[in-house]
Amino acid sequence: MVYVIVVYDVQAERTYRFLNFLRKYLTHVQNSVFEGELTEGDVEEVKHTLESMLEADESVILYRMTSEKYVTRTVYGEDPAEDDQFL
């Protein structure tokens, strides 16, 4: 498994496409930020799909770590990734 953080910057009217796609694989933690663990195969699928979705002047950044244990995550305020916040 690989721990990834995905950040995207796309035209406002197109954000829903990226949001809907990434929710299939990762946890939505802020407006254009997703994180979670993926298999290598899923990482490749996500990368290729996101690349194909991009238009001019848009970008996606995918950070990958070999494990979540190498990430120090500090949240100030309410953590949107907490399960008890979702109905």
Q: How far is 39 from 14, CA to CA, in rounded Å?
A: 27
CA 38 to the chain's CA centroid: 11
- The answer to whether 79 is a known ligand-binding residue is no
Which residue type occupies 19? L
Mean predicted confidence (pLDDT) in 34-43:
95
Residues 6+ apart with CB under 8 A from 29: 35, 79, 80, 81
Domains and CATH numbers, the chain: 2-68 (3.30.70.240)
pLDDT confidence of residue 28: 95
Taking the CA atoms of 37, 41, 42 and 44 in sequence, report the sign of the dihedral they define.
Answer: positive
Q: What's the whole-model pTM score?
A: 0.83
Mean predicted confidence (pLDDT) in 69-78:
79
pLDDT in tens, 5-35: 999 999 999 999 999 999 999 999 999 999 9
CA atoms within 13 A on the CB side of 41: 0
